[in-house]
Amino acid sequence: MKLDPWFKTPVHEENARYMIEDEDEDEKDQRRGSMETNRTLLVDAHAHLDLLGGAEEEIRKAVSMGVLAVIGVSMGGESIGRTMRLREKFPGIVLPALGLHPWQIDKEDIEETLGKMEENLEQAVAIGEIGLDYKIKTKKPLQKELFTKQLHLARERGLPVIVHCRYSHQRALLLVEEADVPRAVYHWYTGPLELIDAIVERGDFISATPALAYSRMHQEAIRSAPLENILLETDCPVAYEGEEATPSTVVRVCEQVASLKGCSAAEVAGQTTENVKRFLGKTWPERSA
Ligand SMILES: [Zn+2]
């Protein structure tokens, strides 16, 4: 694969100095503004930072490699607390998304988790990771009920949603449309290509993972969707062909998308970062800049 020279530029000094604890807000905005004009930066739009070993170090490493922000998704009670703590350590960089994942339904006190979510939603940028997984044993009606409940919460709060679906793409899409949430991303999309038009028409997104290296279905989906409707993500710490992803792996995903689309990695970085801003809308931390 031909690498874009953009990625070969050395770590920017501005980036290395990014984490300055006692900096005031104006200074931070100024420095950030100049970083954005100097170089197009990437966003990892889906990371399980609470499950990532050495998360703090990995976040710093990603920032030094040109990662502007990481959307830290959560799956339930414990994970909500851990994600919120990382947000406090990396304000404006770790952007928390809160949700009850279908895999956790049986393992959580549902009411307690939903309560915890609501308490912290003021600081969250999105609701996720939520959705439907028809490959697991948890009853479909219960999954649908909880997914719908969280979709309604997203609409009420004006928040976008991060959707997990397996063997349930059509249903998930219908529920998202019915709930009329502001925006949705169908993460690691490997669903039917026929649904992509409806996703694009609603102004929603699909996201690309490192599985692009080997998954035909995923490659086809990313090839079919317009670049304006694609986000980049790692779903870290998921291991792809034995290699555990970290937020820095998003650089590779950007290269993979560029190679599939036949355009430059810089173009993919620029467009997908714009897409994240559109996806988040009012919760994007740079919105006032
Ligand atoms: Zn995930």
201-210 pLDDT, tens digit each: 999 999 999 9
38 CA to centre of ligand 1 in angstroms: 31
75 CA to centre of ligand 1 in angstroms: 8
Q: How many residues does the chain have?
A: 289
Q: Which tens digit of pLDDT belongs to each residue from 12-61?
A: 333 433 444 455 666 555 545 444 444 569 999 999 999 999 999 999 99
129 CA to centre of ligand 1 in angstroms: 6
- d(CA 7, CA 28) in angstroms, rounded, equals 24
Q: List, edge to edge, every strand of the sheet that includes 205-208.
A: 42-47, 67-73, 94-98, 126-133, 161-166, 184-186, 205-208, 230-232
- d(CA 233, CA 42) in angstroms, rounded, equals 10
Where exactly are the structural domains of the chain? 41-284
- One pLDDT digit (tens) per residue for the chain, 289 residues: 333 333 433 333 334 334 444 556 665 555 454 444 445 699 999 999 999 999 999 999 999 999 999 999 999 988 999 999 999 999 999 999 999 999 998 777 899 999 999 999 999 999 999 999 999 999 999 999 999 999 999 999 999 999 999 999 999 999 999 999 999 999 999 999 999 999 999 999 999 999 999 999 999 999 999 999 999 999 999 999 999 999 999 999 999 999 999 999 999 999 999 999 999 999 998 644 3
Q: Provide Rg for the chain, Cα atoms.
A: 18
**pTM reported for the whole predicted model:** 0.86
Sign (positive/negative) of CA torsion 262, 42, 95, 62?
positive
21 CA to centre of ligand 1 in angstroms: 30
140 CA to centre of ligand 1 in angstroms: 20
Q: What is the CATH number of domain 41-284?
A: 3.20.20.140
- Which stretch of DSSP H or E encloses residue 132? strand 126-133
113 CA to centre of ligand 1 in angstroms: 18
Evaluate whether 127 touches 159 at the Cβ level (below 8 Å).
Answer: yes
